[in-house]
């Protein structure tokens, strides 16, 4: 039986929630929308047992296995910093120039996230470490050279896979040339097409078969005429023409958080969600405000009910999401709640790794 349109639409959203446990209202809209999954932030994470219980509560309301997402890159972006142990930054790990360190980085992040109940790690960052974005990206990026970025990310993804964690390369097509933080404003990146294809996009081309998900950013690229003035996250050129067709990517395409200033300064949440899916996005991420999640969902549903062309886009994206869940079915079930001894063991491994990385830093 073909799922109803509402089910298809709901399956295109990754939703954030407010606190450390579900409210009655959140339980109601999760049951209604049936999103593809949820994403947690530090505001949702108090300790290992509570985090697992929260994810379990969310999963119990959803009819299909869910994507349970978290940002753990290490360094400045590490939602489990206070719950397990601080993880070294990508820049520090890559600076050792040892493949085994990048692999261990991914393996340890997979171990801690899996133990708490997550199955999607929104990493690695594939942006180039260029002078323009140094103050914004800091230690989140590993190198100015695409080959070095690819080498780190390949080993990191292999490490994630040891525990079945799904990785997500970000932020396509590249934030290395940006001077603004897309959380608050729209970066306008003046890098031309030949440069981007050979440099910024090179890691995505090299790793496309190893990336279960790719996240698209909210920057604009005025020097690439075909991309127009839209943020990449809403752009058919970047998402459909380049990522899907020219590169041939077959995994899931996810938007960066649609509540970020980089896109909200340009349009409404309703228009952004419709435009992203029309451009070829599979999963729309709305991380903070429940009213925006509901508004985005209703806007996509209304457009699908009135436009047969858009309805086909929704169906195609929903089909890809369902296929990805079947493909990764062994990764999606929620593991048992971790005993304290497991967290202690992982914490000690991370602390030992941090010490080893610090010792190996170039002098």
Q: What amino acid positions are annotated as catalytic residues?
A: 183, 256
Query: How many of the other CB atoms lie within 10 Å of CB of 28?
Result: 12
How far is Cα 217 from Cα 234, in angstroms, rounded to an integer?
9
Contacts of 111 (CB under 8 A, 6+ apart): 163, 346, 349
What does the DSSP 8-state code read for residue 220?
A: B
How far is Cα 29 from Cα 26, in angstroms, rounded to an integer?
5
Is residue 106 within 8 Å of residue 337, measured between CB atoms?
no
Residue 299, token pair as written in the block: 């806007």
3-class DSSP assignment, residue 144: coil
How far is Cα 245 from Cα 330, in angstroms, rounded to an integer?
29
Q: H or E stretch including 174? A: none
User: Which among 69, 68, 43, 44 is positioned nearest to 56, based on CA atoms?
Assistant: 68
Question: Which residues are 286's β-sheet partners?
Answer: 15
How far is Cα 129 from Cα 149, in angstroms, rounded to an integer?
9
Written as one string, the DSSP assignment of 22-77 is --HHHHHHHHHH--SEEEE-GGG-SSHHHHHHHHHHHHHH-SS--EEEE-EEETTE
């Amino acid at each position: 039986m073909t799922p109803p349109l509402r089910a298809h639409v709901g399956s295109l959203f990754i939703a954030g929630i407010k606190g450390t446990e579900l409210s009655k209202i959140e339980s109601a809209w999760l049951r209604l929308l049936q999103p593809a999954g949820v994403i947690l932030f530090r505001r949702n994470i108090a300790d290992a047992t509570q985090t697992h219980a929260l994810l379990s509560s969310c999963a119990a309301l959803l009819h299909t296995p869910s994507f349970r997402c978290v940002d753990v890159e290490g360094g400045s972006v590490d939602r489990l910093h206070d719950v397990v142990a601080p993880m070294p930054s990508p820049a520090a790990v890559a600076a050792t120039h040892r493949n085994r360190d990048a692999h261990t980085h991914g393996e340890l992040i997979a171990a801690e996230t899996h133990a708490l109940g997550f199955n999607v790690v929104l990493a690695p960052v594939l942006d180039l470490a260029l002078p323009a974005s140094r103050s914004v990206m800091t230690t989140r990026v590993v190198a100015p050279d695409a080959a070095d970025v690819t080498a780190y990310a390949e080993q990191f993804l292999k490490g994630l896979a040891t525990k079945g964690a799904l990785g997500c390369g970000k932020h396509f097509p590249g934030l290395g040339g940006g001077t603004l933080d897309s959380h608050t404003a729209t970066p306008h990146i003046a890098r031309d097409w030949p440069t981007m294809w050979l440099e910024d996009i090179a890691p995505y081309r090299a790793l496309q078969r190893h990336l279960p998900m790719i996240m698209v950013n909210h920057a604009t690229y005025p020097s690439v005429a075909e991309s127009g003035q839209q943020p990449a996250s809403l752009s058919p050129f970047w998402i459909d023409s380049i990522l899907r067709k020219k590169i041939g990517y077959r995994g899931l395409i996810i938007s960066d958080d649609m509540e970020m200033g980089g896109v909200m300064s340009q349009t409404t949440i309703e228009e952004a969600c419709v435009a992203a899916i029309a451009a070829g996005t599979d999963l729309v991420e709305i991380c903070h405000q429940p009213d925006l999640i509901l508004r985005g969902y209703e806007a996509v549903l209304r457009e699908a009910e009135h436009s047969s062309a858009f309805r086909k886009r929704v169906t195609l994206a929903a089909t890809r999401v369902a296929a990805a869940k079947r493909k990764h079915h062994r990764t999606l079930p929620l593991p048992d709640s971790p005993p304290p001894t497991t967290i202690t063991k992982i914490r000690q491994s991370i602390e030992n790794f941090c010490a080893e990385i610090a010792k190996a830093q170039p002098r």
